[in-house]
A and B are shown apart, each in its own frame.
Chain A
């Protein structure tokens, strides 16, 4: 049993322990903190599984932005958590536990009984890398071989934004999401919000740029850009834009829109929907990714800002 295996067993045990603690702890705020730590440790598991792109996504979006979302909600709902209302009865808990144990056992059995002959698509993906000129296989799959999934995922993000915005009360329809944050202009938060975003923007753009040949991607870079924007908002340096703003809506639609236009162009000029001619594949993908990272950054930031709460008219 090598050192690596011992490390993996310890990591899996800590992750499970955190999961149990998050599910069982009394206070919701503590569960949220446990969930953030859980997300970061799961990112470590992804690195051990040799999937660095997924580790970046899990750390940035799953643990990072998801944690911020949950922490904000837990803070706002802190005083209202009903203490002991409708804790489910013993029968419900016993049957839920039985169901969970059965499903976990079935999945564990499936993992232990995986067939010894492995079918994998990795050789095919690597063999077709000439079609795009990029060498990161995950980027190839995301942007070229299964580009339809990525385009529809952008549409899902757009639908989530529409859903969140539609929750605004009538009086503030089309207004600014979230409260207006104010912070001491000579304080630490404003200092951090002035110092970190330039660095964060460089890192985010770098992660997009390097995704052609190294782990990275538009989603991870977009999450970093979104968090820099949110930091500036939380320090009061800038305000959330009103959701009725036309420029904002144009940027939101630009990502999936450009994707759709390129796809239709592929249908018209080439072989199929979303087919890139190999000579222009790399610039086309780059153009789509630049539009994507802008849209993703703004979408993720707006999803975190929430439903409009202040009127757009002064």
Chain B
């Protein structure tokens, strides 16, 4: 069981790290604010979700697992709201120029 858990951890955390890398490449290479925001929020939230899934087999108890999942949900909430606000500000900045 613990071998299976370790395999899941390594696979999921590596996939999550790859998605983080993809998001950062998008941040650096995309031309304007809106596309960069899109790359960042989508890829980073998915990457964090995969990292959390990968860490779940390593936690000792159900409570710690629930804490990890609630961390992911809170980051999802905060990331989605903040990217909407930044996008709106970027759009308003464009139209007033």
B85 contacts partner chain A, Cβ-Cβ < 8 Å: yes
Chain B residue numbers with a CB within 8 Å of A199 are 74
CB distance from A7 to the nearest CB of B (A): 13
Per-position binary interface string of chain B over residues 36-50, scored 1 when its CB falls under 8 Å from any chain A CB and 0 otherwise: 000000000000000
User: Which residues 132-189 of A sit at the B interface, judged by CB distance below 8 A?
Assistant: 188-189
B10 contacts partner chain A, Cβ-Cβ < 8 Å: no
State in angstroms the CA–CA spacing of A199 and B75 once bound together. Answer: 13
B58 contacts partner chain A, Cβ-Cβ < 8 Å: no
A96 contacts partner chain B, Cβ-Cβ < 8 Å: no
State in angstroms the CA–CA spacing of A199 and B74 once bound together. Answer: 9
Chain A residue numbers with a CB within 8 Å of B77 are 192, 195-196
B74's nearest neighbour on chain A, judged by CB, is A199
Chain A residue numbers with a CB within 8 Å of B85 are 188-189
A191 touches B74 (CB 8 A): no
Question: Which of B81, B84, B88: most chain A CB closer than 10 A?
Answer: B81
CB distance from A36 to the nearest CB of B (A): 13
CB distance from B79 to the nearest CB of A (A): 11
A183's nearest neighbour on chain B, judged by CB, is B85
B78 touches A192 (CB 8 A): yes
Chain A residue numbers with a CB within 8 Å of B78 are 192, 196
* Overall SS of chain A's interface: helix
Per-position binary interface string of chain B over residues 64-90, scored 1 when its CB falls under 8 Å from any chain A CB and 0 otherwise: 000000000010011001001100100
For A, the interface residue count at a CB cutoff of 8 angstroms equals 7
A188 touches B74 (CB 8 A): no
Per-position binary interface string of chain A over residues 237-276, scored 1 when its CB falls under 8 Å from any chain B CB and 0 otherwise: 0000000000000000000000000000000000000000
State in angstroms the CA–CA spacing of A195 and B78 once bound together. Answer: 10
State in angstroms the CA–CA spacing of A82 and B93 once bound together. Answer: 23
User: Which residues 10-24 of B sit at the A interface, judged by CB distance below 8 A?
Assistant: none
Chain B residue numbers with a CB within 8 Å of A196 are 77-78
Chain A residue numbers with a CB within 8 Å of B84 are 188
A192 touches B74 (CB 8 A): no
User: Which residues 187-212 of A sit at the B interface, judged by CB distance below 8 A?
Assistant: 188-189, 191-192, 195-196, 199
State in angstroms the CA–CA spacing of A134 and B74 once bound together. Answer: 30
A192's nearest neighbour on chain B, judged by CB, is B81
A199's nearest neighbour on chain B, judged by CB, is B74
State in angstroms the CA–CA spacing of A189 and B81 once bound together. Answer: 7
A191's nearest neighbour on chain B, judged by CB, is B81
State in angstroms the CA–CA spacing of A189 and B89 once bound together. Answer: 12
A203's nearest neighbour on chain B, judged by CB, is B74
A193's nearest neighbour on chain B, judged by CB, is B81
State in angstroms the CA–CA spacing of A192 and B88 once bound together. Answer: 15
B73's nearest neighbour on chain A, judged by CB, is A199
State in angstroms the CA–CA spacing of A151 and B81 once bound together. Answer: 38
State in angstroms the CA–CA spacing of A5 and B68 once bound together. Answer: 26
State in angstroms the CA–CA spacing of A189 and B88 once bound together. Answer: 11
A184's nearest neighbour on chain B, judged by CB, is B88
State in angstroms the CA–CA spacing of A125 and B30 once bound together. Answer: 54
Chain B residue numbers with a CB within 8 Å of A188 are 81, 84-85, 88
Interface residues of B (CB under 8 A from A): 74, 77-78, 81, 84-85, 88
**8 contacting pairs across A/B (C-beta < 8 A):** A188-B81, A188-B88, A189-B85, A191-B81, A192-B77, A195-B77, A196-B78, A199-B74
Interface residues of A (CB under 8 A from B): 188-189, 191-192, 195-196, 199
Q: Identify 11 new A-B residue pairs, CB closer than 8 A, beyond the known A189-B81, A192-B81, A195-B77.
A: A188-B81, A188-B84, A188-B85, A188-B88, A189-B85, A191-B81, A192-B77, A192-B78, A196-B77, A196-B78, A199-B74
Closest 6 A/B residue pairs (Cβ): A192-B81, A188-B84, A188-B81, A188-B85, A189-B85, A195-B77
